[in-house]
Amino acid sequence: MDGTGDRVALITGASSGIGRAAARKFAAQGYKVALVARSQERLEETAAEIQLGGGQALALAADVTLEADIERAVRETVMTLGGIDVLVNAAGIISSGTIESTQLADWDYMMNLNVRAPFYTIQCALPHLTAREGSVVNVSSVTGIRAFPGVLSYCVSKAGVSQMTRCLALELASAGVRVNAVCPGVVVTELHRRGGMDEGAYAAFLEHSKSTHPMGRVGQPEEVADLIYFLASPEAGWITGANIPIDGGRAQTCAR
């Protein structure tokens, strides 16, 4: 692993938001990147942008809730790009709901995409990560370390991601594989829109979020991508099992 030119990053959720920003960050640092998401069209747009900048990107349309799609994405990444040094699990969804209003099917889908999918992706990629003493970075959330009302299944799913991160860090340390997570506050992405917010509600939510984040603003995907890259880099070589808030201080406050 001398230099980044031969290193490979596999990134889920790479068609938008934090996943896309992470793909661009790793590519800019010389990594070959495998981009995984459901939309082939959006993946190809990201891949074309990376290639225009001189990078190498592989667009792999896949639904990470499907085992066969995860297996195929890992297999094609290794066959085409030569291995896996870094796995970034950024695919995820959010939806509102309480114990009274959350439908069981919605709960199951949340757990499948936010928890089961990264678990199985890590499991499939593990032989390749071990071969290169690689690194996993999961995208959790401030809701994975603090409780918030009205987003029950999302909070529980991200708490699962954070606990999985800690457990896997212990299990994989002896193999030289580090596992960490970033825990963003509100970041300007497609997440909330895809969770059901219309444009007016989303604009109001972003404005309100200025008051719930002590630093007085929401975050940008590129800020989270910078932290993801650091955690995957040799400079973070003695960090594992960390769930690092990147939230403008949101985790230090009470719900309001």
- Alpha helices of the chain — where are they, by DSSP H? 17-28, 40-52, 67-81, 104-111, 117-131, 152-172, 191-194, 199-212, 221-232
Question: What is the percent of the chain with per-residue pLDDT over 90, rounded to a whole number?
Answer: 82
Residue 205 belongs to a domain: no
Question: 131 in helix, strand or coil?
Answer: helix
Higher pLDDT, 186 or 197: 186
Q: What SS3 class is residue 34?
A: strand
Closest CA relative to residue 92, chosen from 67, 64, 72, 68: 64
Domain count of the chain?
A: 1
Q: What is the pLDDT of residues 12-58, one digit of tens each?
A: 999 999 999 999 999 999 999 999 999 999 999 999 999 999 999 99
CATH code of the domain containing 54: 3.40.50.720
Tokens of 9: 């990053």
**pLDDT tens per residue across span 57-96:** 999 999 999 999 999 999 999 999 999 999 999 999 998 9
Active site residue 154: yes
Q: Let me know if residue 182 belongs to a domain.
A: yes
Q: Is the dihedral of CA 178, 37, 219, 164 positive or negative?
A: negative
Residue 216 in domain: no
CA-nearest of 9, 94, 105 to 57 is: 9
Kindly report, residue by residue over 144-179, the tens digit of the pLDDT.
Answer: 999 999 999 999 999 999 999 999 999 999 999 999
Residue 254 lies in a domain: no
Selecting among 31, 109, 120, 154, the annotated active-site residue is: 154
**CA 16 to CA 7: how far, in whole Å?**
22
pLDDT for the residue numbered 188: 84
Which residues on neighbouring strands pair with residue 97, listed in sequence order? 151
* pLDDT grade for 209, boundaries at 50, 70 and 90: confident
Using H for helix, E for strand and C for coil, what is the string for 185-253? CCECCCHHHHCCCCHHHHHHHHHHHHHHCCCCCCECHHHHHHHHHHHHCHHHCCCCCCEEEECCCHHHC
Give CA–CA dist 147/144, Å, rounded: 8
Residue 175 lies in a domain: yes
Cβ neighbours of residue 217 closer than 8 Å, sequence gap 6 or more: 210, 248
| Domain annotation covers residue 194 | no
Q: Give every strand in the sheet of 243-246, ordered side by side.
A: 57-61, 32-37, 8-12, 86-89, 135-139, 178-184, 243-246
**Domain residue limits at 178:** 8-188+221-245
More confident residue, 120 or 213: 120
Q: Is residue 123 part of a domain?
A: yes
Tokens of 10: 């596999």
pLDDT band at 1 (very low <50, low <70, confident <90, very high): very low
93 located within any domain: yes
Token pair recorded at residue 254: 């009470």
What tokens does 128 get?
A: 């390749």
pLDDT at 120 over 70: yes
For 172, other C-beta atoms within 10 Å of its C-beta total 22
